Structures are given as C-alpha cells and as structure tokens.
Amino acid sequence: MSKLRNPFIANYIGSITYIPQISMVTQFFILGSLGEYLRKNKPNYLRLPYKLKIRMLFDTARGMEFLHENRIMHLDLKPDNLLVNSLYTDSSCCIKITDFGTSRFTKKTNNLTDKGLGTPIYLAPECYHDHYTFAGDVYSFAITAWEIFYQDEPYKEFKSLFDIKRFVENGERLKIDMKMPQPLKILITECWAHSFEDRPQFSEVCDKMVNVIENVGEHGELDEGIDVNDIEQFIQQRTEKFELFKSNL
C-alpha cells in the first residue's frame, strides 16, 4: 500500500497496530470529506458550482482507474470517502480517494469475491448477494455522482434498507430529472446498469467524463443563486480552525 502513489489517492503514511482496532494513517485534509457538507440536511451544507462537481467526479474516476489498474477494489466508494483537497476548479487536484480499510488486492484470475462489505445505499445489486466485482465500484460511482449533482440523500423517501434492496434488485434506479445535463445522465445510467458486465470500466468512464466536461459551460442555469463567497468563507473557517488546533498542541 505504501508504494501506491497517485494524485487522486490519499497517501498512506503508516499503520497503528498496538491497539485492538488496527488503524491506518493517511494525509490530513483541512477541508475534510465531501460527505460533511454535500447534502442539504447537513449542518455544514455548502452549495457547489456545477463545474466543481464535475471536476470532483473526474478526479474520483481517475483515482478509481488507478486503483483498478493495480487490481484493488475499493468496495465502499461514497462521498464520505472522498477527501477534499481543493474547492477551486483550476486546482491540479480537488478530490483524493481514501478509506481502503475495506479494500483488498485481487488476483488477476479472480473477478468475484465474497465478503459482506460496503455501505448499503451505494451497493450494486450483485453485492447484496455477496458477489463483489470491479464493476461494483462503477455502480457506487454512479450513486455518488447522483448525490454530488443533486446534493441530496439517495433513497431518502424509503423507510428501510430492505425497501432499497428490493427497489434496486428489481432494476429500479434513482430518479433523474430534466435538470441533469444529458452527457452526465447517460454516463450515470451506463454506470448503474443492472448487470455488472454491462457497466463501463473506469478507463472508459474517464473518457466519457471528458465529454461531460466539454459541455459544462452550457449549463450556467445550474449555478443560479450560488455565492462563491460562501466557499471562500468556508475555506477560511476551516483554515482558522486548523491553525487554532496546531497552536494548542
């Protein structure tokens, strides 16, 4: 793990093994995880510009492409496991993927593994039967992309995880309305295909994301009401909080 280095992956520093629960040490990010302020019902909710959302998805796709090239399934891809490196779209990196506590290396000859892993609302249908594939991460990417675009909780109208499982296994998916640009809608739809064999690999997802990025400028209506000063204020607050923490060490 220590040898894996990529701009879109949080660097592994070391492990703590002398306590009952083994812990991994990675880079620290002042801006925290995307899941902290993505949803409208979060106390730190921060409305993000469409261009920044797409940039975050592109960074995520590139990080996942690297993991899969190294035969690593993430198995728990979601906004909580996306660390925010920057909130500026012109930065070299906005998102770094973390939390490989559930990840595992796989042999090149083995496409399926059996182990109860992942967060239920992001799981692909085959994962409900303990069949894990690289394509399962692609499905999780689709749910994550939906959540980042709408900044809302997936399946929030469902009463139980059992209802969500039945919904997904029946081939149903989260609602996508006319607000979502067509290139992104097509990509998400392909990524959450019911059969894992029909989903694109992350190398293909990255190629398709280029088309999504090229159309970003055509959707200024998605940013109506967004105040960039809110983002600047958030960055300043997080920076000041970190500096205060350091001064108290």
Burial of 16 (0-12, 13-18, 19+ CB in 10 A): exposed
- 76 in active site: yes
Which residue is it, tokens 């204020």? 233
Q: Which residues contact 225 (CB under 8 A, 6 or more apart)?
A: 47
- Which neighbouring-strand residues pair with 26? 12
Residue 219 near residue 181 (C-beta atoms within 8 A): yes
Q: Is the dihedral of CA 192, 198, 203, 207 positive or negative?
A: negative
Whether 81 contacts 98, CB under 8 Å: yes
Coil/strand/helix, residue 46: coil
The active-site residue out of 59, 76, 80, 137 is: 76
Q: How far apart are CA 83 and CA 85, in angstroms?
A: 6
Residues catalogued as catalytic: 76
